[in-house]
Chain A
Amino acid sequence: MMSEVQTKTTVRVRLNVNGAVHELDVEPRWLLSDVLRHQLGLTGTHVGCEQGVCGACTVLVDGKPERSCLMFAVQAEGHEVTTIEGLTPADGLSPLQEAFQEHHALQCGFCTPGMVVTAAALLRDRPNPTEEEVREALSGNVCRCTGYQFIVDAVLAAAKEGRS
């Protein structure tokens, strides 16, 4: 049980997000997902479970897909964090995002940023994945709407056209 009257202690962190450095005062227990969304306004990162299961909160940490609901913001200090906003061009869509649109790889869109982030990392590391590899790579990202097929198609199509 925590003490009845608490004094909130915040610590200063420097976060490198999408290439920009932010100095923030955060409580050590604040999740990276919350800080991205509510302190930095990067609401493209979604929270579907905070249980580390759904993958909606996926961001890249030093290029690797990570669940931002399983990390404290303070743990991200010294690492490069990339969110969906960082993978999105100033205008229009990236080739991978375009493939998602062309193949109807999204319905409600809630899983979509996490899917795009995960797929972008896959295609960077494996430019020509098989269908099985795509399914494997996406298996930590839940989509409740699409049944995955068109997402898989979009990623394969993006790979085929050398886009990511």
Chain B
Amino acid sequence: MTAEMLKPRFTGARVTRIEDARLLRGQARYLDDIAAPGMLEMAFVRSNRAAARILSIDTSAALRVPGVKAVWTFADIPITLVNSAYPVQQPVLARDEVRHVGELVVAVIAEDRYTAEDAAELVQVKYDPLPPVLDTRAAMTDEPRRVHADRPNRFYHKVQETDGFQQAFAGAPRKLKLTFTTHRQTGVPLETRGCAAMPDPASGRLTVYATHQSPHNFRAQLARVLGLPENLVRVVVPEVGGGFGIKAMFYPEYVVVAEAARRLGRPVKWVSDRTECLLTDAHARDAVHEVEVAFTEDGRIVALRDHVLGDTGAYPFLGFAGAVGEAGWATDMLTGPYKIPYVSITIDCVFSNKAPTGPYRGVGGPIGAQVHEGVVDAIARELQMDPADVRRVNFIGPDDFPYETPTGNVYDPGSYRESLERALALVDYERLRRQQAEWRKQGRYVGIGLCSFVEPSAFAESEAGSIPYEAASVRIEPNGTVTASFGLGPTGQGHETTMAQLIADQLGVDVKDVVVLHGDTDSAPFGGGTGGSRSGTIGGGAAVRAGQELRTKLVKLAAHLLEASEEDIELTEGKAQVAGVPARGLSIRELARIAYTDVGRLPEGMTPGLEVLVRYRPPMAATYSNGIHLAVVEVDVKTGFVRVLDYVVVNDCGKLINPMIVEGQIHGGVAQGIGSALLEELRYDGNGQLVTTSLMDYLLPSSTDVPRMRIEHLETPSAAEGGFKGMGEGSLIGAPGAIANAVSDALAPFGVFVTDLPIRPEQIVRWVRQGA
């Protein structure tokens, strides 16, 4: 290895992003910016009932609207989606019965969206209402009825218990019971969902543009549903305006749009409006955790029991039933960074007449962290210990790695204790506690909340695509520039920059000379897409390995041409040269020219060209990032308003590729966590109507709600190539628990302990009245 490789120029540096210029200039092409001659647009008639039989659908008036091309019901598109694990029928357009508000009933295709919407308003659907299934506990016993007549509402039940749990639990001196409830939320990427399909009659191929996190997964699902061979379907993911998990799912609208384009022989586009998004983008976090914890007098947790009730809504998404995925993650990570020897876990998931749930950044992670951190703080309060001390007592220590949790995770090394101590130092914890006591005397209710978390990342399986590897196809073009292609599906994470950094360092070229392509199944190697915090670790590993392979070939070629030994060749600043003798060198450009067009000069046996395709599979099933969030909040006990005064994150995601991008990810996740804890809730009324259908009702954090955050990085490398760990979700895993604990701490004088999120101001006011 040469000196230049030991000190990478770009990896680990705050490289500004290659994608930014087009985005800043307003020239990026998102889905709704795609136009094609003759393109038709679609609008849907959606169910306005939570549960009802469809008595009749009258489309005649809609069909008479000038400019309308087709008005279709299930009779016209009799396609049904079926999740093979939980096989209930989800017709892409409702058939006979509707099961949630927002479900597709009729598709209207017209010359433009205005016309399609006009016509959609003229469609008459007659319903015979059915009693909606809305309460999770009642749903368990099929009350008031079954959502799917042929299956019980409780479609998933799992029990897992460590041997010896009962004894350990019974034998512990102290016990506490807590019920944690999280309400429905959703990712709300600023760009709504959509897709556009274009048939090519000449080739028989169908091109589908889609706002999606996994182009190949999308292609597989669409091809399967429509019965098309995959090589006749091209999926192109254009610029995507945020995803956060919800764009990893496959939605019925996509099937209808693609089928319409095929049947009508014209391009067809549908872009959802914000109301449609709030109604049907994967909902998340609809869960109850009934927890019991057994512990010792000095705060050591002995055993933890959790019974989870999860609501997955009316249908399971293909490949990912939200409630099962969330409960699975939350309980799998139930012991977090702590050495808790015994767990007992029961999971029950039900169908309801609400929108389907799916992944939202962190999936069950935020709930799992809220639970273990709530438990730790509850113990601290019970024993009158400092919450930091209870954590210290329970942490998995530096000598315990690899550590196997009672749920079967094998944690690679992390910095659990150290991150806590760093965070406390950053706020001068002792002084802050004294200050807090002073403030309390003055009637100011300030609270300090900690949330320590472990973030599993880069797993063998994730919601974005269940493959444990990623591919990088990298070629040096005949003029010496580099083109790399990935099956990733970035939605703002900056892969065009981070992947270029890694490749540039391997090849000794400038990061600006590397173009990273993604999102087009015609050019990208098969890949799993972006989700489950896998791209940096697995995709990054593929980038490094592909770069290495290409580098080896470059070195061989250069050594041959320069009549030097391979060990003496170094690649730097766009040149291959004999180490220490810059005069004896060849530019990459010259090497590339020779490799492609002057192949007589290649060494014996070397194939022409400079192009590799590498698949990288990390050696472990997952790698575990960790960190801690510390929030300082002030609660106005008169208005119930919570203000975040200070926010500190100590984050350890292994080796950093680009600290600036990592910090941006953390900032964004913390903002979403503040939303999760204080603002965001999808609320259904007693009839199953979603009442939060605009951003005036579903509140997102604004620039005045989110405080300035301070971030410190720790770097405990993983065993994966480059030592990277994933980090896309940890910030949203840590933030809700930190805020919840901070509010609990602030309101401790009133005996308040927060277990339900979000915390609404009315609730705070009620608590204070009761407690005062």
Q: Which A positions have Cβ atoms within 8 angstroms of B?
A: 1-2, 4-8, 27, 29-30, 37-38, 42-51, 53-54, 56, 83-85, 88, 92-93, 97, 100-102, 104, 106-113, 116, 131, 134-136, 138-152
Among B133-141, B309-317, B562-570, B668-676, the one that faces the other chain is B668-676
- Chain B positions within 8 Å of A148 at CB level: 667, 671, 702-703, 706
A104-B669 Cα distance, complex, nearest whole Å: 15
**Besides the contacts A104-B17, A107-B492, what 17 more A-B pairs have beta carbons closer than 8 Å?**
A38-B35, A49-B274, A54-B190, A54-B274, A54-B695, A85-B25, A101-B24, A109-B23, A112-B24, A131-B708, A135-B703, A138-B703, A143-B703, A144-B700, A148-B706, A149-B667, A149-B708
Instruction: Using A101-B20, A108-B242, A146-B668 as known contacts, say yes or no to A152 and B492 having CB atoms under 8 A apart.
Output: no
- Chain B positions within 8 Å of A106 at CB level: 17, 20, 23-24
B26 and A83 within 8 A (CB): yes
A149 and B709 within 8 A (CB): yes
B26 and A84 within 8 A (CB): yes
Instruction: Using A54-B190, A144-B188, A147-B706 as known contacts, say yes or no to A47 and B65 having CB atoms under 8 A apart.
Output: no
Most buried by B among A92, A97, A100, A109: A109
CB of B244 within 8 A of chain A? yes
- Chain B positions within 8 Å of A30 at CB level: 114
B709 and A110 within 8 A (CB): no
8 pairs of A and B residues whose beta carbons are closest in the complex: A44-B26, A109-B23, A110-B241, A108-B492, A147-B667, A107-B492, A147-B671, A84-B26
Most buried by A among B29, B187, B670, B706: B706
A108 and B26 within 8 A (CB): no
- Chain A positions within 8 Å of B663 at CB level: 104, 150
- Chain B positions within 8 Å of A47 at CB level: 32
A111-B666 Cα distance, complex, nearest whole Å: 18
CB of B191 within 8 A of chain A? yes
- Chain B positions within 8 Å of A109 at CB level: 19-20, 22-24, 28, 239, 241, 492
- Chain B positions within 8 Å of A2 at CB level: 118, 121-122
A29-B240 Cα distance, complex, nearest whole Å: 28
Most buried by A among B66, B669, B696, B702: B702
Of the A-B pairs whose beta carbons lie under 8 Å apart in the complex, a sample of 10, sorted by A's number, is: A1-B121, A7-B66, A46-B190, A48-B192, A54-B700, A109-B20, A140-B702, A144-B244, A147-B664, A152-B703
A13-B665 Cα distance, complex, nearest whole Å: 44
A146-B242 Cα distance, complex, nearest whole Å: 11
A108 and B66 within 8 A (CB): no
A149 and B706 within 8 A (CB): yes
- Chain B positions within 8 Å of A150 at CB level: 663-664, 667
Taken residue by residue from 356 to 394, chain B's Cβ proximity to chain A (1 for < 8 Å, 0 otherwise) reads as 000000000000000000000000000000000000000
- Chain A positions within 8 Å of B695 at CB level: 49, 51, 53-54, 142
Instruction: Using A106-B24, A146-B668, A150-B667 as known contacts, say yes or no to A46 and B16 having CB atoms under 8 A apart.
Output: no
A133-B380 Cα distance, complex, nearest whole Å: 40
CB of B131 within 8 A of chain A? no
- Chain A positions within 8 Å of B706 at CB level: 147-149
CB of B704 within 8 A of chain A? yes
Instruction: Using A93-B24, A102-B16 as known contacts, say yes or no to A144 and B190 having CB atoms under 8 A apart.
Output: yes
- Chain B positions within 8 Å of A139 at CB level: 702-704
Taken residue by residue from 105 to 117, chain B's Cβ proximity to chain A (1 for < 8 Å, 0 otherwise) reads as 0000000001000
A104-B434 Cα distance, complex, nearest whole Å: 37
A113-B24 Cα distance, complex, nearest whole Å: 6
Which one of B22, B24, B190, B240 lies within 8 Å of A116 (CB-CB)? B24
A147 and B190 within 8 A (CB): no
- Chain B positions within 8 Å of A104 at CB level: 16-17, 660-661, 663-664
**How close is A57's CB to chain B, nearest CB, in angstroms?**
11
Q: Which B positions have Cβ atoms within 8 angstroms of A?
A: 16-17, 19-30, 32-33, 35, 61, 64-66, 114, 118, 121-122, 187-192, 239-242, 244, 273-275, 491-494, 660-661, 663-672, 694-696, 700, 702-704, 706, 708-709
- Chain A positions within 8 Å of B273 at CB level: 50
A44 and B25 within 8 A (CB): yes
A121-B493 Cα distance, complex, nearest whole Å: 28
A85-B22 Cα distance, complex, nearest whole Å: 11
B190 and A143 within 8 A (CB): yes
A150-B20 Cα distance, complex, nearest whole Å: 14
B694 and A51 within 8 A (CB): yes
B667 and A146 within 8 A (CB): yes
A135-B244 Cα distance, complex, nearest whole Å: 24
A37-B35 Cα distance, complex, nearest whole Å: 11
Q: Name the residue of chain B whose CB is nearest to the CB of A92.
A: B21
B704 and A84 within 8 A (CB): no
Instruction: Using A101-B21, A107-B668, A139-B703 as known contacts, say yes or no to A145 and B242 having CB atoms under 8 A apart.
Output: yes
- Chain B positions within 8 Å of A8 at CB level: 66
B191 and A108 within 8 A (CB): yes
**How close is B575's CB to chain A, nearest CB, in angstroms?**
28
A111-B135 Cα distance, complex, nearest whole Å: 37
A151 and B26 within 8 A (CB): no
B491 and A108 within 8 A (CB): yes
Q: Name the residue of chain B whose CB is nearest to the CB of A134.
A: B703
B667 and A100 within 8 A (CB): no
Instruction: Using A4-B65, A51-B694 as known contacts, say yes or no to A44 and B661 having CB atoms under 8 A apart.
Output: no
A5-B33 Cα distance, complex, nearest whole Å: 30
Most buried by A among B24, B664, B665, B704: B24
- Chain B positions within 8 Å of A146 at CB level: 664, 667-668, 671
A143-B35 Cα distance, complex, nearest whole Å: 26
- Chain A positions within 8 Å of B672 at CB level: 144, 147
A56-B20 Cα distance, complex, nearest whole Å: 17
- Chain B positions within 8 Å of A149 at CB level: 667, 706, 708-709
Q: Name the residue of chain A whose CB is nearest to the CB of B16.
A: A101
A4-B21 Cα distance, complex, nearest whole Å: 47
Q: Name the residue of chain A whose CB is nearest to the CB of B113.
A: A34
A45-B28 Cα distance, complex, nearest whole Å: 11
A42-B26 Cα distance, complex, nearest whole Å: 8
**How close is A84's CB to chain B, nearest CB, in angstroms?**
4
A30-B118 Cα distance, complex, nearest whole Å: 13
**How close is B17's CB to chain A, nearest CB, in angstroms?**
7
A50 and B274 within 8 A (CB): yes
Q: Name the residue of chain A whose CB is nearest to the CB of B23.
A: A109
A75-B704 Cα distance, complex, nearest whole Å: 31
A100-B23 Cα distance, complex, nearest whole Å: 11
**How close is A139's CB to chain B, nearest CB, in angstroms?**
5
Instruction: Using A37-B32, A102-B16, A109-B19 as known contacts, say yes or no to A6 and B668 having CB atoms under 8 A apart.
Output: no
A48 and B664 within 8 A (CB): no
A4-B665 Cα distance, complex, nearest whole Å: 50
B664 and A46 within 8 A (CB): no
A100 and B661 within 8 A (CB): no
- Chain B positions within 8 Å of A85 at CB level: 25-26
A27-B67 Cα distance, complex, nearest whole Å: 15
A106-B23 Cα distance, complex, nearest whole Å: 8
- Chain A positions within 8 Å of B492 at CB level: 107-109, 145
- Chain B positions within 8 Å of A134 at CB level: 703
A53 and B696 within 8 A (CB): yes
Instruction: Using A43-B26, A43-B33 as known contacts, say yes or no to A108 and B21 having CB atoms under 8 A apart.
Output: no
A4 and B122 within 8 A (CB): yes
A138-B700 Cα distance, complex, nearest whole Å: 14
A2-B244 Cα distance, complex, nearest whole Å: 39
**How close is B303's CB to chain A, nearest CB, in angstroms?**
37
A144 and B25 within 8 A (CB): no
Q: Name the residue of chain A whose CB is nearest to the CB of B15.
A: A104
